Amino acid sequence: MSKWGHLFKDGEFARRERIVAGLTLEQVTRRPSAQSHTIYEELWHTNRWQSIIVNRDEALYEEWQKGRVYPDAPPASPAEWDALVAEFLAGIEKALWWTESPERLKHETDRGNTMADVLVSLAVHTSHHLGKIVALRQFMDAWEAEPEG
C-alpha cells in the first residue's frame, strides 16, 4: 500500500468504507446533542471539501467561502444517504488518481502550494471528521470494534 493509500483508504484506523457503511437513515440523522453534528452532516461536510480539492471545483469553493459548509437539510431518503456515501468513496479514488503521477502531485493549486500539499491537508481534514463519525457511531452503539489479532 502506498503512503497515499494509507492516508486515504485504510491507514491508522478503520477502512473508510467501513466507517460509513451499514447505517440507517435514523442513525445518520440523529443529533446526540445541540452542539454536535449528525453523521450525515459530518460526511456531507467532509465530502464537500474533498470534492473541492480533488475536482478543483471553483463553484463549490465559492459556496464554501460564503459559509455553506454544512447541508441545509437532512437526507430525504436512504437513497440520498447512499448517494453521498458513493460520492465520498469515489472522491477517495479521485484523490488517489492525483497521486499516481509526480506531475499531478506537483500541480500548483495556488501560489506556493502543490496538489501534494493540499492532499495531505485533505487527508488530515477527512481523518478529523471520520473520527467524529466513529465517535457518533460509538455513542449510538452502532459501531463494533474490529477483532484483534
Q: Rounded distance, CA 25 to CA 3, Å? A: 34
Inside any domain, residue 149: no
Inside any domain, residue 23: yes
Inside any domain, residue 115: yes
| Domains contained in the chain, number | 1
Q: What is the mean pLDDT of residues 109-113?
A: 91
pLDDT tens, residue by residue, 56-109: 999 999 999 999 999 999 999 999 999 999 999 999 999 999 999 999 999 999
Q: Is residue 110 within a helix (H) or strand (E), and if so which, with residue range?
A: strand 108-110
Inside any domain, residue 72: yes
> Under a CB-based contact definition with an 8 Å cutoff, are residues 29 and 35 in contact?
no
Q: Which domain holds residue 72?
A: 3-139
Other CB atoms closer than 10 Å to residue 98's CB: what's the count?
19
Inside any domain, residue 35: yes
- The helix/strand/coil state of 113 is strand
The one-letter amino acid code at 79 reads A
Q: Model-level pTM?
A: 0.93
CATH number at residue 38: 1.20.120.450
Inside any domain, residue 147: no
Give the pLDDT confidence score for residue 148 in this predicted structure: 61
Give the pLDDT confidence score for residue 53 in this predicted structure: 96
Inside any domain, residue 111: yes
Give the pLDDT confidence score for residue 1 in this predicted structure: 58
> Under a CB-based contact definition with an 8 Å cutoff, are residues 93 and 57 in contact?
no
Q: Which of 32, 41, 35, 47 is nearest to 135 (CA)?
A: 32
> Under a CB-based contact definition with an 8 Å cutoff, are residues 27 and 39 in contact?
yes
Inside any domain, residue 70: yes
